[in-house]
Structure 1
């Protein structure tokens, strides 16, 4: 009897639906804890179906966005004397527009589940280069949760620690 004639045992796989309560100061921190535990447990695969607060800020921004922009342009053309104060207002909001651009780009990476490389400055000359996927962005605290694809770990950084992402 050779080895191919012996009955072979295959490991069976089972699928469970589980609700897990994870405590954390923010949704991003709780998500980080959950992903860390799931990755360290060595499961073949897992999927988080609910509980992520992704995209809710986008929905809020879209709901509060004015639908008719044309009358605002007509008001600006009718009052050319009001243009200099608007120009100084644009200079003040330039950092906000840069931050909005960055957050929009981060949200696009989250939606596309895009693999990116972050360069993070942790201070005191420590820089990290991380191949990762962005999991969550908490705009209120400017915290970003990422999944390091090589180490299979979850990290949280502030948006201001990130020097670049490609």
Structure 2
């Protein structure tokens, strides 16, 4: 006679939320959020984006009589290249790298990032990508071993491995 557990199978639920955290800078606020999320015992979580609210935005949101949602269209790299000026090979390489990093970030994939900090200092970091700022060419990662948040410029990143 085999023994089966009478315990019922639990259902899994996923919730989306927005959290507001005040701190001195983006990295400190993000680190605070990650530490809090790790403390509450969630099975898993994914931070998909973050914004900094400026004072003018806060005032206008507070004084708004009503708000109307506006859809945001996502454009692929091909669409961008058709409508923009021709890219140099370096710009194209950076754009391709950001495209790869966005895919890794959306899948919450654990990667090993190879970073050259200069003066012969190289780092091999097991991490998850938590934010990408293409305009500033910044990549914010969560170092899974150290449980720290780091931000690197794209010119510091030599390679990554999935």
**Superposition TM-score, scaled by structure 1 size:** 0.58
Q: Which has the larger radius of gyration?
A: 1
Q: Is the alpha carbon distance of 1:101 and 1:51 closer, same or farther for their aligned partners in structure 2, counting shifts above 3 Å?
A: closer
* 2:135 pairs with 1:135: no
CA distance in 2, matches of 1:159, 1:59: 25
Match of 2:31 among 36, 46, 51: 36
Post-superposition offset of 1:36: 1.9
Number of residue equivalences: 119
Post-superposition offset of 1:20: 2.6
- Return 5+ residue gaps in structure 1 as ranges: 1-16, 70-88
For 1:33-60, what per-residue CA distance to the aligned partner results, in whole angstroms no more than 9, with x for missing partners?
233224556613365778625xxxx945
* Aligned residue in 2 for 1:83: none
Partner of 1:35, secondary structure, is helix
Structure in which a larger fraction of residues adopt helix: 1
- Return 5+ residue gaps in structure 2 as ranges: 1-16, 52-71
Partner of 1:61, secondary structure, is coil
Post-superposition offset of 1:131: 0.1
RMSD of equivalent CA atoms: 3.5
Q: Is the alpha carbon distance of 1:124 and 1:137 closer, same or farther for their aligned partners in structure 2, counting shifts above 3 Å?
A: same
CA distance in 1, matches of 2:79, 2:92: 15
CA distance in 2, matches of 1:161, 1:100: 15
Matches within 5 A, 1:69-80: none
More RCO (CA 8 Å, sep 6+): 1
**Superposition TM-score, scaled by structure 2 size:** 0.59
Match of 1:104 among 88, 99, 102: 99
* Aligned residue in 1 for 2:4: none
Q: Is the 8 A contact 2:111 2:127 kept in 1?
A: yes
Q: Is the alpha carbon distance of 1:161 and 1:49 closer, same or farther for their aligned partners in structure 2, counting shifts above 3 Å?
A: closer
Post-superposition offset of 1:143: 0.8
Q: Is the alpha carbon distance of 1:98 and 1:34 closer, same or farther for their aligned partners in structure 2, counting shifts above 3 Å?
A: same
